[in-house]
Amino acid sequence: MKISRWSWLIFLLLGLAACVSTPPAPEVTPRPIDTRTPGPTSTPLPTSTPTLTPTPTALPLQLLDGLRAQRSLGPTPQRGAPCGLIDFFDFPLAAPEGETANARWSFGRYSERYSGIHAGEDWVYDGGNSLGKPVYSIGHGTVLHARPLGWGVDQGTLIVRHVLTTGHTILSFYGHLEPASVVLRPGDCVARGEIVGNIGKPRGRPHLHFEIRSIFPDRPGPGYWSVDPRLAGWEPPTEYIWDQRLSTSPGVKWTRPFTTQGSLLVGLLISDTLATIDHDRLLALDAETGRVHWSRPVSDSTRLVAVDDARTLIYLTTLSNTLQAIDAAGELRWQFPFTPTTRSVLLPLPGGGVIAHDGRDLTGLSSAGERLWRFDNVPPPTAWLTDGGDLLFTTGGDQPALYRLDGSAQLNLIAALGGQLAASSHHLFAYGSTALYRLSEPPQLLKLLDRTGQGQGSLVATGDGGVIMAHNGMNGRRLIALWPDGSLRWDRSVQELTGGAPHLVLVKDEVYAVTQEGDVWWIDQELGAAQRILDGARLLTLRGSARSFITSDGTLIIDARGGRLIAFDPRRVPLAKEEPPGLVDDF
C-alpha cells in the first residue's frame, strides 16, 4: 500500500512519545461485493523519547462566583409578601450550600418505630456532633409558628411561610431546636441565611428535622405520615430546593428529573429533537421546551446507543442480541444480529450508518441496515471525530493507537497514540495520556504532560486555531491554553474549581467547563480565569461520565449525573463586571 508523505511525517513525530510496540494490524474481512482488501499500514513507529519536560507548576485558576453576588440582595417587601419574595433557596445547615452537612435520614423512608413514612429529612453537620450548631432560614419569609417546646421532649419547632415569584406559597419547618434558641415570634420577618435557632437534643441523636410542605401552617405536624407524604402536601426537601434553584437560574430553559442509573442522554436528532433513555423508555424531547414528542419501551439494560451522522436514526442494542435502528418518529426501521460485550461500542459512520464494535471486530452498517465491511481484531474505539468524509478514532489499553477510516473503507493505522481528539477549522489535535499533539502538516508535539490520573480530561479547539485542555494529571487538575502557533498561552491549576472534574465545550466560540456535578463555568480565554454561571443539581451521584450536547441555537443540554437533565443557554447569563486580581501571563 502506498504511504503518503503526510502519513510518514505523522509516524516520525507522533511516535516520539510512544514507548510502546506498534499495535498489531487488524485482520480485514472485505465486504462480499468488493474484492479489495482494505487494511492498515504496518510501518513500525519510532519509540524515541522527547527531551521536553512538563511544566512543573501552574498558577491557580482565578474564580469568580457571579451567581452568589447576584443573590446577595436582601428581601424587598411588596404587596402579598411583606417579608419579600423568594429569590433563591439555601440549605438549612451550613448555608448557603450545605457542603459540610447532609441529610442522614431521607424523605419517604419508612420507620418501624413510628409506624409511618418520614415526611422530612433529618440533617446533621459533618463530624458527628451537631448539638448547638446553627439552623438557617432557607429563604425570605414570615414566621407563622415558633415554640420552644413545640414538640415537647423533642424540643423546639418553627414554621416560616415563603412567597414564590409565581405568587404561590410554601412552608419550611424546623424541628428539634434548642428551646432557648427559639426567640423569633409569629409575624417576624426572616431573610435567607438568617439563623432561626440551634440544633437541640431530642430523644435520639441531635439533628434537625426539616420539612417543606403546604399543610399545617400553625402547628408542628407529626413528622411521619401513614401514606406517601407527597400525596398529602409534603415535598422532598432537597429535591424541591434544587428544583427551585434551577428554575430561577438565569439561562435555564427547562429541567427534567433524571434520577435512575438507567437514565442516559443519547444525542440530538433533526429539528433539535433530543433523544434520551429514562430507565426503560426511549424518549424524544423538544430541546427548546423539554416536551415529550414520543416514547417507546426499551430494555432497561440498554447502554449502547448512537445517533446517525445525518441525525435521522438512533441505533441501540437489545437483550435479544440485536442492533436496532429507530427513526426520528420513534418507529423501528430495521434490526441486525449483534451480540454486545462489556467492551462493545457504537459510533456513527460518516455520511450515515453505524459502526458496531462487538469487543473484537469492527463492522460497518449502512443506514438501511446492510453490512458494508468488517475489520477483525481491532481494539475498541475510545474517542472519535469526523474529518471530512473520514473517521478518526483512538483506542486505549497497553497499546494505544490512532486510526483513520476513509470513505473508501481503507483503515489506516496512523500512530501509537490514544486519548481525546478535537478539530477546528485550522487544525486537528490529539490529547494522549502524556502529551498533546497537533495533527497538521508538518505535525507537531505541542506539550508534554504529567501522566493522567483517574479518568482523562478533555479538550476543545478554539475559533482562532488554538486549543484549551482540561488535564487530569497525577499532579492535579489543570486547565492549559495554547496559542495557534502551539506556544503556551496560560497554564492554571483548577483544584479549587467546584463541581468536580471539568469537561470542556465550545458554544459559539466561547469555552465553558461543565463539571461532573452540573456546575457550568465560563472560561475567560484571554485571562485564564473562570466565572461560575450555573449551579448544578447535586441530588444524586449516578454512574457514568457527564455528557452534554449543543443545539443549533447554542443551548447546552447537560446530563451531569446529578439527578437532573438541564437545558441551559449560557449566553443569557450576565457576566460579573469585576476582574479576578493577580493574573499574570505565562509567556
Same-domain check for residues 297 and 367: yes
216 in the same domain as 102: yes
Question: What per-residue confidence (pLDDT) applies to 262?
Answer: 62
Average pLDDT value for residue range 536-555: 75
**Rounded Cα–Cα distance for residues 269 and 39 (Å):** 33
Distance of alpha carbon 7 from alpha carbon 406, whole angstroms: 13
The distance from CA 577 to its chain's CA centroid, rounded to whole angstroms, is 27
- Strands 195-198 and 134-136, bridge-based pairing: antiparallel
pLDDT value of position 587: 39
Cell of 198: 440551634
For residue 148, tell me if it sits in a domain.
Answer: yes
User: Residue 104 sits in a domain of what CATH number?
Assistant: 2.70.70.10
Q: Of 345, 378, 411, which one is at a domain's C-terminal end?
A: 378
Q: 146 is written with which cell numbers?
A: 415558633
318 and 213 both lie in a single domain: no
Which residues fall within 8 angstroms of residue 22, CB to CB, at 6 or more apart? 42, 44, 45, 399, 413, 416
Residue type, 109: R
The per-residue pLDDT for 490 is: 95
- Point out the domain boundary residue: 341, 357, 378: 378
What is the pLDDT of the chain when averaged over all its residues? 84
Averaged pLDDT, 184-198: 97
Residue 68, pLDDT score: 63
Mean pLDDT lowest among 293-297, 362-366, 492-496: 492-496
Cβ pair 158, 218 in contact under 8 A: no
Identify whether residues 299 and 366 lie together within a single domain: yes
Residues 229 and 289 in one domain: no
Residue 342 has pLDDT above 70, yes or no: yes
Q: Which of 50-54, 264-268, 522-526, 563-567 has the lowest mean pLDDT?
A: 50-54
Are 228 and 307 members of one domain? no
Residue range 59-78: mean pLDDT, rounded: 74
Q: Is residue 403 part of a domain?
A: no
pLDDT for res 551:
92
> Which residue range forms the structural domain that includes residue 335?
265-378
* Beta strands at 458-461 and 444-448: parallel, antiparallel or unpaired: unpaired
What are the residues facing 297 on neighbouring strands? 281
Quickly count: other Cβ atoms within 10 Å of residue 195's Cβ: 14
Each residue of 34-49: pLDDT tens digit? 433 344 444 344 333 3
CA distance linking residue 422 with residue 459, whole number of Å: 7
Confidence label for 4 from pLDDT (cuts 50, 70 and 90): very low
C-alpha cell at 454: 483517574
Residue 507 lies in a domain: no
Q: Among the listed ranges 13-27, 298-312, 331-345, 489-503, which one has the minimum average pLDDT value?
A: 13-27
At residue 158, does pLDDT exceed 50?
yes
Percent of the chain surpassing pLDDT 90: 54
Q: Are 87 and 70 in contact (CB under 8 A)?
A: no
CA distance 93 to 208: 9
pLDDT score, position 445: 87
Which residues make beta-bridge pairs with 159? 145, 173
Same domain, 311 and 231: no
Whether residues 274 and 340 fall in one domain: yes
Counting beta carbons within 10 angstroms of the beta carbon of residue 454, is it exposed (0 to 12), middle (13 to 18) or buried (19 or more)?
exposed
278 lies in some domain: yes
Q: How confident is the model at residue 208 (pLDDT cuts 50, 70, 90)?
A: very high
Please check the confidence at residue 61 and state whether its pLDDT lies above 90: no
Q: Higher-confidence residue: 168 or 559?
A: 168
Asked if residue 223 and residue 282 are part of one domain, the reply reads: no
Burial of 270 (0-12, 13-18, 19+ CB in 10 A): exposed
**Rounded-to-10 torsion of CA 228, 233, 239, 243:** 140
Question: Model confidence at 57, in pLDDT bands (50, 70, 90)?
Answer: low
Q: pLDDT at position 302, please?
A: 67
Q: How far apart are CA 392 and CA 406, in angstroms?
A: 9
Whether 472 maps to a domain, the answer reads no
What pLDDT score was predicted for residue 579?
54
Residues 157 and 193 in one domain: yes
Non-local CB neighbours of 144 within 8 Å, separated by 6+ positions: 159, 160, 161, 171, 186, 217, 218
Please give the pLDDT value at position 585: 46
For residues 158 and 138, give the distance between their C-alpha atoms in angstroms, rounded to a whole number: 12
Cis peptide before 96, with omega less than 30 degrees from 0? yes
Q: What is the predicted pLDDT for the residue at 43?
A: 39
Instruction: Please check whether residue 347 is in contact with residue 338, taking contact to mean a CB–CB distance below 8 angstroms.
Output: no
Of the candidates 440, 409, 447, 405, the one whose C-alpha atom is nearest the C-alpha of residue 425 is: 440
CA atoms of 578 and 79, how far apart (whole Å): 34
- Which comes out higher in pLDDT, residue 581 or 381? 381
Rounded Cα–Cα distance for residues 276 and 87 (Å): 31
Q: CB of 254 within 8 A of CB of 289?
A: yes
pLDDT digits (tens, 9 = 90+) for 384-419: 999 889 999 999 888 889 999 998 999 999 888 888
Average pLDDT of the residues in 282-309:
90
Q: Provide the pLDDT for residue 6.
A: 41
* Same domain (yes/no): 129, 186: yes
Asked whether residue 21 is domain-assigned, the answer is: no
Give the lowest-confidence range in 335-344, 503-512, 540-549. Answer: 540-549
DSSP 570: G
HSE-up of 86 (CA within 13 Å, CB side)? 27
Question: What band does 8 get if pLDDT is binned at 50, 70 and 90?
Answer: very low
Is pLDDT at 188 greater than 70 in this prediction?
A: yes
Residue 88 DSSP one-character state: -
Rounded to whole angstroms, how far apart are CA atoms 7 and 21? 18
Going by C-alpha positions, the residue among 349, 405, 350, 354 that lies closest to residue 378 is 405
The structural domain count of the chain equals 2
**Binning pLDDT at 50, 70 and 90, where does residue 330 land?**
very high
pLDDT confidence of 209, banded at 50, 70, 90? very high
**Is the CB of residue 158 less than 8 Å from the CB of residue 197?**
yes
Q: Mean per-residue pLDDT for 46-53?
A: 40
Q: Is 439 a member of any domain? A: no
Q: Which of 184, 218, 237 is the last residue of a domain?
A: 237
Return the SS3 of 361: coil
Does 65 reside within a domain? no
Position 17 scores a pLDDT of: 40
Pairing label, strands 529-534, 62-65:
parallel
Give the contacts of 460 (CB within 8 A, at least 6 positions apart): 422, 467, 468, 504, 505, 506, 511
Cα Rg, the chain, nearest whole Å: 28
Sequence-distant (6+) residues with CB within 8 A of 218 are 144, 145, 159
Structure-block grid coordinates of residue 36: 479489495
From CA 171, how far away is CA 234, in angstroms rounded?
9
CATH of the domain at 335: 2.40.128.630
Give per-residue pLDDT as tens, 430-479.
998 888 988 876 668 888 888 776 556 889 999 888 999 999 888 888 99
Quickly state the pLDDT bin for 191 (edges 50, 70, 90).
very high
Integer Cα distance of 568 and 558 in angstroms: 8
pLDDT digits (tens, 9 = 90+) for 562-571: 678 899 999 9
User: Out of 88-92, 148-152, 305-309, 492-496, which region has the weakest mean confidence (pLDDT)?
Assistant: 492-496
Question: What pLDDT band is residue 56 in, cutting at 50, 70 and 90?
Answer: low
208 and 272 in a single domain? The answer is no
C-alpha to C-alpha distance for 384 and 401, rounded to whole angstroms: 12
